[in-house]
Amino acid sequence: MAKMGQDRRNRPPAKDADLAPLSPPARGGVKRAATVPPADAAEGKPFWETKTLEAMTAAEWEALCDGCGRCCLNKLEDEDTGEIVLTRLACALLDIGQCRCSDYPNRFAKMPDCINLTPEKVRSLAWLPATCGYRRVKEGRGLAWWHPLVSGDPETVHQAGISVRSFARSEKGVKEHNFVRYIILDFDDDA
């Protein structure tokens, strides 16, 4: 199953601002199965066009993650207003070069607040990026040309500027009260 980023709402709030580390990511298929069939032979259409999120196999579910890494960026929540802002600080387990979880099988043991992405969470988590493969399918928007399932090339998500490879930095060594220094504008694309 896909997973999500850590929910850090229980951590102490940032001191320099009224913002507290929140829940990052919803991390989908960080590990893509190589054997996922690109199309449903019976329908002649790819599975993401014929199946609901609930109906997908585990391999199909994992393959739906485009590998952007956006959901593994830390977010901060204003404890008074509930406003959520994005930072460019990635979860310590994210391999930024690959935009993949470096220990996917053990992510929940190593990052207890990493969220397990499910169809229900895809519907309820407002901060899931508009580009996210799960969100796009849930909203009936299909997958974009740069999605590896469409392009057949895992590099296209980076080439299209969708992944966080070019600007993320690890949260390692950054004190939580300094997270506010890494706030960035939220993604405004709906690619």
CB of 137 to ligand SF4, least distance (A): 10
Alpha carbon distance 110, 133 (integer Å): 25
AA letter at 37:
P
Count Cα atoms within 13 angstroms, Cβ side, for 129.
32
Q: Is 21 in the site for ligand SF4 (CB under 6 A)?
A: no
Assess contact for 142 and 49: CB atoms under 8 A.
yes
Strand boundaries in 5-83, DSSP class E: 19-21, 26-27, 73-78
As measured in angstroms, the least distance from the Cβ of 183 to ligand SF4 is 18
The pattern of x and - marking residues 114 through 153 that bind ligand SF4 according to CB under 6 A reads x--x-----------x--xxx-------------------
Taking CB under 6 A as the rule, does residue 26 contact ligand SF4?
A: yes
Distance between CA 188 and CA 183 in Å, rounded? Answer: 15
Q: Are 96 and 169 in contact (CB under 8 A)?
A: yes
Which lies closer to ligand SF4 via its Cβ, residue 42 or residue 170? 170
Residues 105, 131, 77, 164, CA torsion sign: positive
* Residue 107 in the binding site for ligand SF4 (CB under 6 A): yes
**Choice from 36, 53, 56, 71 touching ligand SF4 (CB under 6 A):** 71
Which of 56, 85, 86, 94 is close enough to bind ligand SF4 by CB under 6 A? 94
Nearer to ligand SF4, 76 or 114 (CB): 114
Q: Is the dihedral of CA 140, 146, 149, 154 positive or negative?
A: negative
Residue 27 binds to ligand SF4 (criterion: CB under 6 A)? yes
Name the closest residue to ligand SF4 (Cβ).
Answer: 28
Residues that bind ligand SF4 (CB under 6 A): 2-3, 5-6, 24-28, 30, 65-72, 91, 93-94, 101, 107, 111, 114, 117, 129, 132-134
